[in-house]
Structure 1
């Protein structure tokens, strides 16, 4: 007789958190570095910021890694020599090899200019003052693929001067997280705080889709560390402080 070991939802949530926490901790370290290095600078310039960002972003997206992009995005007007500025590096995706800097259009009068302050990965950290996981969404700017973006504010003299963060392709995250979810006792779905599916053992819940049940969505947004049981047998619990939630059961 063959015995298949299964893990409790709490154990699965802990394992998910351990994977995502590593990315969060790295990004928090980048924030701390920028805040420390830029604090004594008489003025903020692209020449001062870009080498600092390149030094951590390029290694982060080089080789076999979950990350496909990393860098810093400046708050409009925060730099003395550029009204709008992105210092963002992209790693290997598909048939592309090596690391390259993301080409951007920083002229607001250009027809292809995009105001990044309207995007979720910028808006939420600016409003909350804390890190945020956006997605999955199709990243038409960098990868043309399903992506999650993690960003956190960088502060100088009490004001946010930009966000630092990273992108991860959903299919790369799935390679790591799906085996963890499949080891659980029941079918499991990993969602962000808005109820958007990151990955799932249920084929009906595709990455990027939204949970439609109001009670389920409310439980996800509550992000309780203790399983919240809903009618029908579904349970929801937070994956540490990652802002992700584990939905288990039908």
Structure 2
């Protein structure tokens, strides 16, 4: 690969990192206030879902309006020691920043086990931030989404996650021209799934068949460059 191509590849991957830095920034800024509010309120027992909505609504709207990232949705998903009754997911989304009116979270046979959801499970296990996706978000938007999540820690105890959603369409607007300039390059996640691609043979969610970005040995001479901060790799066709 020519030196100019390597530089262009690295610059594009840096844009990916910078984009997700910007997604996490308002969540990280909100987190200390949320921890303080929860610690104070939980001193008298767990909250209801309705109380959680009232507690965090203004802060979530501030997250959604912060910076130049095209955030589609944001909110907080509490564990069952924080919200013991009602909906543990307080979530606002869409152009009108409306509250998600219903959820399959909560009690009952149809309830979803949060620990089966990557955006919740990984921060719960690692106590580190995580980026999950792309996936079709059937719980909220029904759009192809990438979810960035931060664990909420009250002392040593995990108390849920704060999250922000970005639609894959927003990433396409930002990155597709640069991917095309590299010669039908592809952005894949850590599991080898296509996030976005300038290669007409690949669509979002496809398994990238040329190799595994985790082992660095593509099958067609492609070159991998992995992000050091996020679970993404950039795949550039061999020349």
Q: In the alignment, what sits opposite 1:188?
A: 185
Residues of 1 paired with 2:82 and 2:148: CA distance? 21
Corresponding residue of 2:203: 206
Give the aligned length: 229
- Displacement of 1:60: 3.8
Unmatched tracts of structure 2, length 5 or more: none
Instruction: Measure how far apart 1:66 and its partner are.
Output: 1.6
Shift of 1:189: 0.9
TM-score w.r.t. the length of structure 1 is 0.79
Matches within 5 A, 1:42-57: 42-43=43-44, 44-46=46-48, 49-57=52-60
> Equivalent residue of 2:163, what SS?
strand
What SS does the corresponding residue of 1:8 show, helix, strand or coil?
A: helix
d(CA) in 2 for partners of 1:83 and 1:153?
21
- Seen in structure 2, the aligned counterparts of structure 1 residues 13 and 160 have a Cα distance that, compared at 3 Å, is same
| Cα distance in 1 between the residues matched to 2:209 and 2:134 | 16
Contact 2:226-2:232 at 8 Å conserved across structures: yes
Cα distance change, pair 9–60 in 1 and its aligned pair in 2 (3 A): same
Question: Does the aligned pair in 1 maintain the 2:73–2:97 contact within 8 Å?
Answer: no
- Counterpart check, 1:221 vs 2:218: no
* Structure 1 residues not aligned, in runs of 5+: 93-97, 223-227
Cα root mean square deviation, aligned: 2.7
- Does the CA contact (< 8 Å) of 2:85 and 2:106 recur in 1? no
| Cα displacement string for residues 65-114 of structure 1 (whole angstroms, at most 9, x for unaligned residues) | 521110000012233x537511111122xxxxx221112345422x5432
Aligned CA distance change for structure 1 residues 240 and 77 (closer, same or farther; 3 Å): same
User: How far is the alpha carbon of 1:174 from its aligned partner?
Assistant: 0.8
Query: Are the counterparts in 2 of residues 14 and 240 from structure 1 also a CA contact under 8 Å?
Result: no
Q: Is the 8 A contact 2:27 2:63 kept in 1?
A: no
Query: In the TM superposition, what is the alpha-carbon distance from 1:169 to its structure 2 partner?
Result: 1.0
